[in-house]
Amino acid sequence: MLNLSALIAGLIFGLGLIVSGMANPAKVLGFLDLAGRWDPSLAFVIGGAIGVGVLGFALARRRTRSLLGASMQIPTSSKLSVRLIIGSLLFGVGWGLAGFCPGPAIVSAAAGYSKAWIFVAAMVVGMLLFTLLERLKFSKRILS
């Protein structure tokens, strides 16, 4: 049941990305072009997402299990680390250069958009490199 609900949630999320224009890199780059022909329409999408997220987290904090019985795993740390800041900067630069972030890139790749495939491939390589570096760092800690 958890997998089915995850599939349905993912399909609804992907449809929302398409309807809102978030899967269209030209629209995203228009939103990010503050000095040129700025398109503010995605600000409403982002504002709506923040509103839904705030409500969802407020409800989730009151529960110990999800509606389907899975344990709740809500992040508790509020510390700003160097890793978080660097990761955020890399995310923003990638979004600004390509017009994609991970969710919309996957939706666009599934729709056959070739530039999205390149972005997704680069994203997967980055995730694999991160995993490799984390494993190396962890193994060095154990050996020392």
Report pLDDT digits (tens) over 39-91: 888 889 889 999 999 999 899 888 888 888 888 888 888 889 998 999 899 88
Q: Please indicate whether residue 142 or residue 120 has the higher confidence score (pLDDT).
A: 120
Q: Is the pLDDT of residue 144 over 70?
A: no
The answer, as to whether pTM is greater than 0.85, is: no
Confidence of residue 20 (pLDDT cuts 50, 70, 90): confident
- pLDDT for res 53: 92
Q: Cβ atoms within 10 A of the Cβ of 117, count?
A: 14
In angstroms, the CA 16 to CA 22 distance is 8
Confidence of residue 122 (pLDDT cuts 50, 70, 90): very high
In angstroms, the CA 137 to CA 143 distance is 10
Give percent of the chain with pLDDT exceeding 70: 99
- pLDDT for res 17: 87
Q: Is the pLDDT of residue 22 over 90?
A: no
- pLDDT for res 96: 86
Q: Which two tokens stand for residue 25?
A: 């890199």
Helix (H, G, I), strand (E, B) or coil at 93: helix
Query: What is the 8-class DSSP label of residue 65?
Result: B
